Structures are given as structure tokens and as C-alpha cells.
Amino acid sequence: MGLTTNLLTISVLVLIGSVYIMYNYEVPSCRLDTIDLTDKIVVVTGANSGIGYQIAYEAAKRNARVILGCRNPEKGRIAREKISQETGSKSVAVIGLDLSSMKRVQKFVDKLKEMYGRVDVLINNAAQGRVSTERETTREGLEEMIATNHLGPVHLSTRILPILSTHGKIITISSGSNLYSGIINPTDLNSEHKYSPGTLYAETKLLNIMMTRSLESILKPGQSSFSVDPGFSLSLLQLPQSLSSIIRVLQPVLPSVPCSYACLTSIWLAGGQTGEIEIGETEDKNQSQENPGSGSHWYDCKLSVKVEKQAQDQELRDKVWSESKNLINSALYST
């Protein structure tokens, strides 16, 4: 990719970001003054950089016992050392996690059980952003993006349920891009018949919301599941490698929500603030009476209705859940 193309791409990103910020961005209203996560075991995936790192940092600052689930253990160790040094926390650990591999997800949960015995908050943050123009699969036969962004979090979340504490929470980072998803085909989640790189990332972000609502129906009373729109953030994950170094230099002046803001809603939810929300304020009138707001979508510490309408379809959600479990099982038992 030449310099001219790079500059053109950056210009387009700046324009899109500027328009979005102009019409959507507000000063964050999240207040974390009273959030105390003392002795809570908080697992954050993709925590070595970006929003995941900032979530882990804020959790450690509030006295949580933080586990960083990182694909690259070395980057995870660097993140752990930095968080420990800046927060003074001695309770930050790293466990290797590759969400694209269902077998490795299973090993990750087994390690959590062995080392901690329980989880109070799981924050599904890790995601693959760069979409390949050609369909690529993992060693387990799964399309890479659907494996990392959807199937991995589904498997991690369901495997963790037996050790999720009485008032445990599963928080999944989605995106406003869910509104631009294509039609979800539950019989072709693995893109074996049709591969649509133009909408695939948005579809996985919609699937994150659908997963949150499916989880809500199988949680025990007192447990909660939420999805979060962190706001427009110019993530390096979604850019070609050739642009990453340029964006890294320019990021402070580009129109996007900084990670220090994008992480706030997740920490706010982890602190249990949804008890303040009344059932009548939720988007879905069938929300759990035990957990006001559980299964709902959040932005800037407020309930958000910016959700693609397919997420409201219970029958579609059930079919997606069933097929997701089938794909996970096929990966687990693949040679």
C-alpha cells in the first residue's frame, strides 16, 4: 500500500470519525467514584492493549484480582508489569488464551478453575478486527473471525458458568457497527457457503449482543449478562498493518473515543450499578425481574437501543445459539 493510498485511507477515517463524533459523542457521564472491586476475580480477554488493557487497569486500580487473558503471553506479561507498577496491585496475573481455538479456550477455563476456583466478572473484550478478503480457517476448521469474535466468547462464557459466582457478571464488548450487519444466517455461521468480508465484523458484533441475550436466559438468579458499545474507537485491530504505525502516531489527534473513556461502562457494570435501573426503562420488557437490565445493551453507562433488529428475534437467537454450540463441539472433537 503506497503513501498516497495510506493518506487517503486516513483522510476517510478522519472524516468518518469527525461526522460520528459531531452527531453522537458526548462527554462521558459514567461516574466510577463509588466503584470498589475489592477481592473480585475479574477476567479480561485481549487485555494487553487498547480497551482491554484499560479495563484491566481500572479494575486493578479498584482492588480487583485481575486475570489477563492474552493470545501473546509476552505482551501479556509486559501489560501485567505496567498495570502492577502504575496501580500498585500485586494481584494481576496472565494466562494464555487464544479465542480462535475452542480447545485452548477449554484449557484456559480449566486453568482458571485450578488457580482460582471462581470468577466474579468475565469481560469478553478480545476480538479480531482485520477482515481477510479471502475466507481463512483455523486448524479446527472454523472461519477465523467468527471463531475469535463469536464462538470463542460463547465457549468461554458457557464453560465458565459452573464457577461464575452467585452475583457474577458476563460483560461482552460489542460495537455500534452491529447496526450495519448483514442478514444473519444461522445455518452458515461458518461462512462455508457465502463469505461476506464487507459485513462480517459487524455481524460478529451483532452476534455478541445476541449471545448476551441468550446467556441471560440460562444464568442463575442473581447473575447478569450485558453487552457494551464502547463508542467509536479507531482500533488498530481493524486497520491494515501498513497503516498501524501511522495511526499510532496520529491517534491522539484523531476523532475517536480514547480507551480511557471506552472502558468506563464495563467497569461501571462490573461494579453492579444496574441495580439503579428500573424494569420499565429497559428496551426489552421481558428483562429478568431478578436482575434489572440483565441481557441488555449499554453505552456510556446508559441503556442503549442502538441494536440491529435481528437481535430482538428470539427464534433467530435460539437457532444461532444451537448452531454455535454445534460448531464449537465439532471443533473440540476435530483431529
Taking only Cα atoms into account, the Rg of the chain, rounded to an integer number of angstroms, comes to 19
**Residue 201 annotated as catalytic:** yes
Q: Which of 241, 190, 193, 219 is nearest to 290 (CA)?
A: 219
DSSP state of 137: B
- At 123, list the grid cell: 469481560
Catalytic one of 53, 57, 201, 299: 201
CA distances 253 to 66, 250, 259, Å, are: 31, 6, 14
Q: Give start and end residues of each alpha helix (H) in 217-313.
A: 241-250, 259-262, 264-270
| Integer Cα distance of 48 and 64 in angstroms | 17
- Phi, psi (rounded to 5 degrees) for 292: -55, 125
Ramachandran assignment for 46, one of left (phi > 0), alpha (psi -120 to 50 degrees), beta (any other): left
Provide the total of helices (H) and of strands (E) in the chain, helices listed first: 11, 8
Question: Angle 314-332/200-216 helices, nearest 10 degrees?
Answer: 100
- At 116, list the grid cell: 482460582
Sign of torsion over alpha carbons 175, 178, 181, 186: positive
Residue whose entry in the numeric block shows the C-alpha cell 477455563: 109
Amino acid identity of residue 138, one-letter, is T
What is the set of active-site residues? 201
